[in-house]
Structure 1
Amino acid sequence: MTDLPATATAAEFWEARYRDTGRVWSGRPNTFLVREASGLAPGTALDLGCGEGADAVWLASRGWRVTGVDISATALERAAAHAAGAGVGDRVAWERHELGQSFPEGSFDLVSAQYLQSPVALDQQTVLRAAARAVASGGTLLLVLHAGWPSWQTEPPFDAVFPTLDGVVAELGLAEGEWAVGTQETVRRESTSPEGVEGYREDHVWRLRRHTTASA
């Protein structure tokens, strides 16, 4: 990746991250998305921080109509190519947003934010609150965030504040009695360093359902 100055914006950082490398991610959907969303009836979905589109493509292949959002134009181009190659290009709309500055319009039956964490500026609380507001009546909010560094990471590459299970729920500002918690847990999974050191990493997973209102 091209070295960027310390004053680089989030948009510059993430565009360089994708532009200056080949494919960044595996092309497979995130494990917790598959685990938590497989049983949901398809509807409309919002994929925040969609990257190269694997989650959006997986959802579209299961009958969802998806809006995929990312800050990087290069990532969105790759995502659109992935969707077209998978035969679901007509089921996904791609939008470029710097979350925290702008946000997609509308409400969705599923709002998914998988690992929406960044080494550069990101107003995570504002974004996650907007994500909760975008969930339609009877819809689902699915959040997955790293709970800490991998066990093999002896020298963290940058300063980071990791979330807690209860802390994120409190920061969402959810109206009392309006939501039901389906999943709220920490999961430990195997993780291997680039040098082949085996270890683990822990992730937090939340799946919350907005109660159906009488007018819905």
Structure 2
Amino acid sequence: MTGYYEELLVEEQEAVTEVIQLLLRQTFLLERKFDKRAGRLAFVKEYRTCSKHLEFLTEYFKVAGIELHENAQMGLIYIQGETLWGEKLPRLATIYLLILKLIYDEQMAAVSSSSHIVTTMGAVNGKAGEFKVLRGLPSPTEMRRTVSLLKKYQIIEPLDVLEELNEHTRLIIYPCINAVLMGDDIRKLLNTFNEEDNIGEESAVQGTLEDMPE
């Protein structure tokens, strides 16, 4: 295994090392992310590096009891393992995460030709209202803080100015939401958040959200 790495050019070795560190920090890699300057989805070089050296990286992570998966259709590479611990999320962030997954699945089922889904804050809060999981509409500050947190984890990407967030603010939902919530009954989970439930202020989701850089 080390022989493969040692035979790479120094520049390629550095790129592989960077990908390993990145996956350990953020759990998943997206093939494409929205580039606001270009106004379109752009390819992520780290994803290409990981895909190119996938066999080596799979064996590397296997030593630590971590599985490396690639979903080429969705443009997603992610790691899973019992040694990976997730960060607890505030209640509102957890609710939004579940709602975003529900919206993502519904739109993907509606013959979507893209793995990236676009929704709005109004649609998110409206769907949350249908499930009665919010104790009133969150304040603009709470919503901005929550959107910023989910952006940090590469779950979403606001297409409009966050400081002017309102019901018309557009959000890209990235396919890595499937690496956070996999095989869960989202509607059932949402029902545990209704107003009558006596739950804490923080909740963990799947143990896959790691402390990531902006």
| Range class of TM-score, shorter chain | under 0.3
With the length of structure 1 as denominator, give the TM-score of the two structures.
0.25
- Larger helix proportion of the pair: 2
- Larger strand proportion of the pair: 1
With the length of structure 2 as denominator, give the TM-score of the two structures.
0.25
Higher RCO (C-alpha under 8 Å, 6+ residues apart): 2
Query: Which structure has the larger Rg over C-alpha atoms?
Result: 2
